[in-house]
Amino acid sequence: MQWNASDLPFLDHSVGQDILVLPLPRPGYEHANGTEWEEFLRQNLYQDLEKYGNATARRVTLSALHTLMQRLTSREHLKTHAGLVVLRRGRAYLAKHSGMVGFVKTRITRNIERMLAGAAALGLTLPDTVFAYSGQDEAVCKHLSGACSHAPVFSHIKRYDHRRRRSVDSDVLIPHLGHTFNTTSHFPWPAKDPRALLRASLQSSMDAKRCMRTVLARLGATPNGSRLLDCGFVANNHHTYKMPESHMKKYMSMTQHARYRLVVNADGHTASSRLGYLLTLNSAVMTQGDSPWIEYYYRSLTPGTHLLTYNATSVLGLVAEMQDPARDAQLRAMVDAAQHFAAKFITPEQKVRYWVAALRAYAALAPPQLGGIADGMKGLRPGSSKHRLGSASTSAILDALRRDSGTSSSSSSKSSSKSKSSGSSKKGKATSSKRRSTKLVSAGKKSAKQGKVLAEVWVRLRAKGD
């Protein structure tokens, strides 16, 4: 293909029918930094964490962490889809159930190892800490009987109420590093197919007859719908549903999607990772407007600016409307905004930065003792290299949390008993009062110092956003 950089992103004057694939980041498509990155974190990460306090008013306790982690690792289904991760001195160790589901183990391992390698490459330091991590394709907090009210768990997907602009689930979202949005794809705009394209799979967990993917395939198989939609399935993984032959389509790579002017995102089991890939194409994105599911970055996407939203009753009318030449400028503006959004916020490097920001913020909200627990954790077995995931013991983690939270409680109880018994004599009372006063002054200075340090960390974290 013959093309000129000034003709990007639409290649209106290019010669040829090839698809141009260009790397991210690059000049004109740089990563977000400074206030722009900080605002992105505010819209997503900080919104997830705000219920857990801040560096000067932490609400997370060791006892709450123990309760959450104990429930997560002992309840049926949950224990095979989640694990506990120890970060110590730049290495990571996973405590998991022996029956952990294969794809969950692969997902957790891949994410942690890529995060470690990416943080090292970017020169970002990781805190010593212990955290809960769910590898499911949906929120886990709803199954933990309120434990997430006082301690966070990291997940990839959860529910969100777009009308009220607040999360339905308490899970703290982190990026899925298994999806690499590191290029943009360009096909000449005048040569694009004007229909809306969807290629998808039907999974066994989906409602085969009523899910949005089936609705789109059904509409696309009608005479009127086929003029507007090229939608269908490339695979039927449902155990009982016999799919009509008219709903099946040939596989098409994500890069080849750029040959269509409109590309469609529709929920699978929950949120679909294809949305990130679609944002990198020089095609206008249509996403399911009534979906309750979000990934970590969705709250920064604005309908009408980055993409279009549709539902089962509006999709045909919307496509017909967008095929009107009068809408061409609107579609082009959305395409340009979407590709720049992808470059700024969801490339592999930016995903790593988000992971690190999440872990630092979590460590700042957790009790200071948690770092010491991680540093002194017993039974850790390192991976084959610094960036390979090692193994940890669930029981050792829970025992350490219980022991340290219990010690604090025990010390407080003993101090209270000593205070009461010291009232038996004036001399003892005076001595005890002096001792308590000295301890309180010392503890107050230490607490104030810790609070000041943590506050500075939190402010610095929010300022840098790295």
Reported confidence tier of residue 431, pLDDT bands at 50, 70, 90? very low
Cβ-based burial of 18 (10 A; exposed 0-12, middle 13-18, buried ≥19): middle
CA atoms within 13 A on the CB side of 65: 33
What's the CATH number for 5-26+181-346? 3.40.50.2000
Q: Which two tokens stand for residue 423?
A: 């009232």
Q: Which two tokens stand for residue 34?
A: 């400074």
pLDDT digits (tens, 9 = 90+) for 213-267: 999 999 999 999 999 999 999 999 999 999 999 999 999 999 999 999 999 999 9
pLDDT digits (tens, 9 = 90+) for 116-149: 999 999 999 999 999 999 999 999 999 999 999 9
Domain boundaries, the chain: 5-26+181-346, 36-178+350-375
Mean pLDDT of 358-382: 97
- The packing angle between helices 212-220 and 315-322, to 10°, is 60
Q: In sequence order, which residues have a C-beta less than 8 Å from that of residue 400 and are 6 or more positions away?
A: 373, 376, 377, 378
Reported confidence tier of residue 1, pLDDT bands at 50, 70, 90? confident
**How many percent of the chain have pLDDT more than 90?**
83
Residue 264 to residue 220: CA distance in whole angstroms: 12
Give residue for tokens 């040829």.
Answer: 16
Q: How confident is the model at residue 426, as a pLDDT?
A: 45
Q: Judge whether residue 372 has pLDDT over 70.
A: yes
Q: Judge whether residue 436 has pLDDT over 90.
A: no
Q: Judge contact between 118 and 348, C-beta under 8 A.
A: yes
Mean pLDDT of 335-352: 99
Mean pLDDT of 161-176: 97
Mean pLDDT of 173-181: 98
Mean pLDDT of 398-409: 82
**pTM for the complete prediction?**
0.87
Q: Residues of 395-406 as b/e, b for ≥16 C-beta within 10 angstroms?
A: ebbbebbeebbe
